Structure formats: C-alpha cells, structure tokens
A = this chain, B = another copy of it.
C-alpha cells in the first residue's frame, strides 16, 4: 500500500476531482482551501432545488453534520440518496455524534444510504456504533483507541463502509485490515476543522481511487504529514493553519515517502 499512496496524490492533482460538500458553516472556507491545495475542485451546494443535480456532476460527495438543521438535513438525505442510487462515493463526517438525540437520529437516517467511508474521532465512532449494539459502552471523549477500533469494526460490518478514526494515531479499518498512520502533531487540534478537512480530502481521493481504503489512508497521510511539516514552521495555531495549506500544495513525493509512518494489521 505504501507505494500506491503517492500515486493517488498525483492522480488528485492531475484529475482535479469535483468534490460536492454539504458541510458546516465553521469550516466551509478552510475546507475549500484544503481541497484546492491538494488539487481538487470544491463545490458547496445544499438547495433542495439543485442538490441532486450537483451530486450527479461531482466525483464524490462529502456530508458533514457539524451545524445541521432541519433544512440542511433534508439536503443531506437527498444528496446521500442520490449518491447511493448512482454508486457515487460518499463520505460521512458524524460531527458531534452522541452529543444530542437529534444528531443521533439524523445519523441513523444517513447511515441507511450506505456511506462509502465514515470518518470521525474516537468518541464519534463509538457513539455511532452505540446506536447499533447494546453492548458498546457510552461516549467518552478520552476514548481509548482499542475501544474505537472495535466500534469501527461494528460499523464496517453493518454498513460495508470503510471507517476512519482520527486522533493522535489515525486508523483506517475495513473488513480485512486495520491501517494505522502515526503522523501529525497535537497542535493540529488547536485549529478548528482540520478533522473536517480530512473528511473532505478523503472525498477527493475517493473520487479518483477505486480502492477506498487506500483513498482514506492517502488523505489522512497527506494531511498529517503536511501538518507536522507546518508545525515546524509555526509559533501557534494561526500560523499552523497557513503553513498547512502551503505544505498541502507544495508536498513532494520524496518528503511524503520519507515521513510516512504506516502500520498494517490483519
């Protein structure tokens, strides 16, 4: 897999996939900038009057429930249904899963349209899985990785999705393997929405890559490596956000492969 990842990055730069985002108000700007920096082409659109048309011309769909409301949820359901019907890859970011009953209800409806890939932090992945088994324990924001991995496996099995857990170590779980990416830097958690950027980048890679596990791994790796390079130039979260975009844009194959820390277990 290591050898394929840079190829996926090169493909995104060459093909510039159109990524349709229905995402939250907080991160729309830096999500668009992250997609542009890796060479993809972002579109944000949510009107009921056009959302299905927009899905049909995009290479991938990204749904992020961060600032959901009743209108936007209907947009998300229309878009997810369209993507599911036309076998278009779509990525779900269950922001705040478990925080309110409303978020959990909406997420159950979205899951019914079979997301291709799900990305969340440990708490969110555990909250999603909790809806599906009485034996999983409650949401824990300081959740241990092992707990989140078992939750991810439940989601993989139930929804036939690839599941990505982001954190100090990122995990990408499918039905056969668990891939770990040990790149990145803790300062990245002090910039709002880098998890949302990760989800959007997964969309870009899923739009051009048949192997969805590799798409998720490539996206997490490029963001984490750009982030750790950016941190070396930064005095705080303001400068990290800037340098991260520069690094996403300028990253080379040599640097990427030298820094990549991947682990694969069956």
* A interface residues (Cβ-Cβ under 8 A, vs B): 24-30, 32-33, 36-37, 42-50, 53-54, 57, 66-71, 96, 99-103, 189-193, 234-239, 241-250
Contact = CB atoms under 8 A, between A and B. Distances in A.
Contacts of A27: 29
A252 to B, nearest CB: 13
Contact of A47 (B44, B68, B242): B68
Contacts of A249: 190, 236-238
Given A29-B30, A50-B101, A99-B57, A246 B237 contact: yes
15 contacts: A26-B28, A26-B32, A28-B67, A29-B29, A29-B192, A32-B192, A33-B192, A37-B237, A42-B192, A49-B102, A50-B100, A50-B103, A53-B99, A236-B247, A238-B245
Query: Which 4 A-B pairs have CB atoms at the shortest separation, nearest pair first?
Result: A236-B246, A238-B245, A32-B192, A50-B102
B53 A101 contact: yes
A100 B54 CA distance: 7
A210 B226 CA distance: 42
Contact of A238 (B67, B103, B243): B243
Contacts of A26: 28-29, 32, 44
Contacts of A193: 29, 32
A55 B189 CA distance: 23
A243 to B, nearest CB: 6
A101 B236 CA distance: 42
Contacts of A189: 36
Contacts of A28: 25-26, 67
A79 B27 CA distance: 23
Contact of A237 (B33, B42, B190): B33
B244 A241 contact: no
Which residue, A43, A57, A238, A244, has most C-beta atoms of chain B within 10 A?
Answer: A238
A46 B67 contact: yes
Nearest to A244: B238
A191 B36 contact: yes
